[in-house]
Structure 1
């Protein structure tokens, strides 16, 4: 019985990650295949080939991203994007949603963005309890004027889903910068501490 139990759990450790990975990939490919709906009916790959080939939508989505990125990178494209931003900013309700989403995407995906660039160790949710978080910037404007010390903006992700979390402002002196990269820190968080980064451990302050 001990051997059977060991084999069972070892099989789970091998099979479960593979099944979940394939399921996520299948969902992503199926979602991206919806991009094909923008093509005329006579251009649909299923109709042209006579059978369904998964992944054409993903290739079309990639091509669209590259084309839009190339167009938006030149002078005329930037002006067109700015004109579109001004147009959307005049539409009630839509402008509040669009501006919020755009600010987040600009921070996360732009080359000059500083989100999730530094992993830090902070005490959360109370003193004596430590977790890994990410510095996203520094307070500015009215908030910075009210804070008397040097603070940083910190995102504290939840586990095992790091897309949810808390935005807090902590004293810079209370944050311990880690040598591990952002990717390693995210794996550490998602795995609930099981996948430990191989960087040398720092000593916690007393």
Structure 2
């Protein structure tokens, strides 16, 4: 009976935790955007001021932000909008520190949303920080001419994420021959990293699997590692 209660409790945690965390993140994001955008709305145009009591409209700030970004994108698509944006960028280019920050952020955003880059479309393994120790890495880009000249013709950039936060990590440059390609999507690799390795992949190459320690199995709960 105790074993059944324990398994039922753990199953409930497995079901509720992803839903709870997802709901919490969504609510936190919506509240953050609302708190930033709503104070910028003139009082006469804020529909919440015409509602009885202290009733608020959840997500109003998000809706307004989406509309404003859509209008801004439409404005930037014509000649007049591009001229204004170009003028603003030339002004920013004249400010020493701001131009570096703006240029780097702009390049990153354009790379992520353009869909023309192969960044983070391939997952590989690399021995790091010592031989026989493998880490999951994302291929970010091919090396430029200077890197190819000083390192190798097939040098590539690797982003090695940290656990459990895959948005942080560090950048490595190494010849592609030092990496082991694996049949795993970026989403699967992210799940592996976020879960501390508990969501274990079944697609590791045989030579890498041979180097990994044997999995320990609990007779009641199944694999532990």
The normalised TM-score by structure 2 is: 0.79
Among 27, 37, 40, the alignment partner of 2:39 is 37
Deviates more, 1:180-189 or 1:165-174: 180-189
Q: Distance in 2 between matches of 1:26 and 1:165?
A: 27
- Alignment partner, residue 82 of structure 1: 86
* Aligned 1:1-206 pairs, distance under 5 A: 1-33=2-34, 34-50=36-52, 51-196=55-200, 200-204=203-207
- RMSD over aligned CA atoms reads 2.4
The normalised TM-score by structure 1 is: 0.86
Runs of 4 or more, structure 1, over 4 Å off, are none
- Report the number of matched residues: 205
**1:153 CA drift (Å):** 0.5
Stretches of structure 2 lacking an aligned partner (at least 5 in a row): 211-225
Instruction: Report which of the two structures shows the higher radius of gyration computed on alpha carbons.
Output: 2
**1:162 CA drift (Å):** 0.5
Would you say the 8 A contact 1:108–1:114 is kept in 2? no
**2:139 counterpart SS class:** strand
**2:207 counterpart SS class:** coil
